[in-house]
Chain A
Amino acid sequence: MSSANRPHKWHQWTLVAAAFAAVVVLLVLPLVVIFAEAFAQGAGMVVDNLTSDDMIGAIQLTVIVALITVPVNLVFGVLLAWCVTRYEFRGRKLLSTLIDIPFAMSPVVAGLCYLVVYGGQGLVGQWLDDRFDVQLMFALPGMVMVTVFVTCPYVARVLIPLMQSQGTEEEEAAILLGASGWQAFWYVTLPRIRWALLYGVVLTNARAVGEFGAVSVVSGLIRGETLTLPLLIQMLNEDYNTVGAFTAAGLLGAMALVTLLLKTVLEWRQSSKLNAAEETLT
């Protein structure tokens, strides 16, 4: 299957070694440092920091944001992928390009845009405040909104190529056999995309948990209220609480490692599925 060769000349080996060195220095070393720094003054300090009110509040807030963001983008991503791959309409290409806006745009800019539109002085924000006494910005709703914005392409981007390659025949077959649109989705489409979907969810979750830029703009950085883990890290670092900052960072780092593991497993599952599908075609 693979057309790659083993490196066999000295300069090829040098290239491989250089790649490894770069990965270690740039990626692995900082991760190791995080844990080393966190435990620099003993495990007791780590536990103290982990059980502090600020830390627990930040963990809770981070989890809540992720718990809302992931399902929203799961549904949104599936719907979007369905529209783009299952219907032929004017503006389909445009739609699939628009999905990428959050990828292309700096999260800070996204945060500012939301602040302008939904903030107290903003068009929508002012109206909501006057009519319903609802404040979106500098509170949980705003933080969820920008996180949803920043992470919304992941599920759709994973699903679209897969659903395109799978085609629509199996769904047509289901409907010809009397299935409703919902049944066709539930019994035919979903089982075929489940691994890719999980992969998209893992990516969305990782990004939602780690999001800093956009959230920092709309959170207002209110200690004990609107600090998520990434925001807390910055705050602790500015307070010269190194152990605290690195403990929080270690927590995020551990989440990242778990995510990486899940992603690898899911990728492996999906590619073995694809291989199986290819084998049947030949």
Chain B
Amino acid sequence: MSIRVDGIRKTFGGFAALDDISLNVPQGELVGLLGPSGSGKTTLLRIIAGLEKPDRGRVLFNERDVTTLDVRRRKVGFVFQQYALFRHLTVADNVAFGLRMLPRGERPGRDAVRARVRELLELVQMDTMAGRYPAQLSGGQKQRVALARALALEPEVLLLDEPFGALDAKVRKELRRWLRHLHEQISVTSIFVTHDQEEAMEVSDQVVVMSQGHIEQIGSPLTVYEQPASRFVFDFLGHINALEGLYDGAVWQSGEARLRLDTHGACPDGALTLYLRPHEATLAKAPVEHAHLPVKLAARSVFGGTVTLELEPRGWGAGVLEVELDRDTWAALAPGRDDTLYLLPRSLQTVTCDGDLGPRVAPA
């Protein structure tokens, strides 16, 4: 079932939680609503589910207006961040709940319910725990039961509110792979809310980046990362280093730091901020002609194949810079304790003085 959201507005006591939101989710897609807390993503999800009423705008399922349709008739599967399992019922009874609430005529018989519950619990790999109570399950197990419960009525829309937010890192990673896999199996149109960039990037077909009740950008994970539509999107997706300085049409300068940049006239002379992603730079023991950014090593952490370095600028103004190198590069560099190192950016994002994104540039 396709989902269309058209001009939704929602205010809570004068505060606009959502302002003129429009969004299209084609049948069978898995869309991630990504944004910081307070961006309105959960409110949007609850409006699509019917748990909140919008002040203005429409929600359409398969082009049918469901804005005023009662929650229980929308037939959406919904998964809560805190699972919201019925704590007085066993796992099996939780999953069977929706089937038992069906009107008498549509309600399957006792054996049919039992068979369906078993099938769902197998799907979420919880069939051995059917008799347990929620209190006896781990967070990851609870969330899988919640998913099975949401899928019991074969919804054509599945909505997940920060489904993995309350889980520890390892279980979270495992579960989101599993969700991706499940989605390929049953192909239900799904929207999930997250504030975790990595999660949105890994799981979604499309990412919707939201901030302060607006949609900043809609696109594939690759598009929003490589071609961010706004400064906010660039800022929000991954860590960035902001370098502030002055530009004279050829050279960017800040204290003792210098970078030769050719912006083909796109950036006016004057204040110019450069955004540097941690993985788009390397380090050397000597400066090169087009880049002179002296730094001192403040801290490092080795994790997996990359080494994350914290660098303090020497003689120029910027906060602590974060740079990621692969292990071999780091080993080859092997700097001494107080050595001055030189940062060599490969690619930078310019931010003009009015706060918009300028062109991407490379020092040369």
Question: Which residues of A pack against B, CB within 8 Å?
Answer: 169-170, 172-180, 183, 187-188, 191-192, 276-277, 279-280
Contact = CB atoms under 8 A, between A and B. Distances in A.
B51 interface: yes
Contacts of B134: 280
A184 to B, nearest CB: 9
B225 interface: no
A169 B82 contact: yes
20 contacts: A169-B80, A170-B86, A172-B80, A173-B84, A173-B86, A174-B101, A175-B72, A176-B49, A176-B72, A177-B101, A177-B149, A177-B152, A178-B102, A179-B97, A180-B72, A183-B101, A187-B97, A187-B101, A188-B86, A276-B135
Contacts of A192: 87-88
A162 to B, nearest CB: 13
Majority secondary structure, A binding face: helix
Among B80, B82, B87, B149, residue most surrounded by chain A Cβ atoms (within 10 Å): B87
Contacts of B98: 177-178
A276 B136 CA distance: 10
B164 interface: no
A273 to B, nearest CB: 9
B153 A177 contact: yes
B203 interface: no
A188 B93 CA distance: 12
B21 interface: no
Contacts of A191: 88
Given A169-B82, A183-B101, A191-B88, A176 B76 contact: yes
Contacts, number: 63
B113 to A, nearest CB: 13
A173 B101 contact: no
Interface in B86-100: 86-88, 97-98
A174 B87 contact: no
Interface of B: 49, 51, 71-72, 75-78, 80, 82, 84-88, 97-98, 101-102, 134-135, 149-150, 152-153
A179 B86 contact: no
Nearest to A192: B88
Contact of B135 (A173, A180, A280): A280
A172 B86 contact: no
B97 A174 contact: yes
A277 B87 contact: yes
A179 B72 contact: yes
B102 A170 contact: no
A195 to B, nearest CB: 11
Nearest to A172: B51
Given A172-B84, A176-B72, A180-B101, 6 more contacts: A169-B82, A176-B78, A177-B149, A179-B97, A188-B86, A279-B135
Contacts of A277: 87, 135
Nearest to B135: A280
A279 B75 CA distance: 33
A12 to B, nearest CB: 38
B72 to A, nearest CB: 5
A277 B88 CA distance: 11
Among B72, B75, B85, B134, residue most surrounded by chain A Cβ atoms (within 10 Å): B72
A178 B71 CA distance: 8
B99 to A, nearest CB: 9
Contacts of A279: 135
A187 to B, nearest CB: 8
Among B76, B78, B152, residue most surrounded by chain A Cβ atoms (within 10 Å): B78
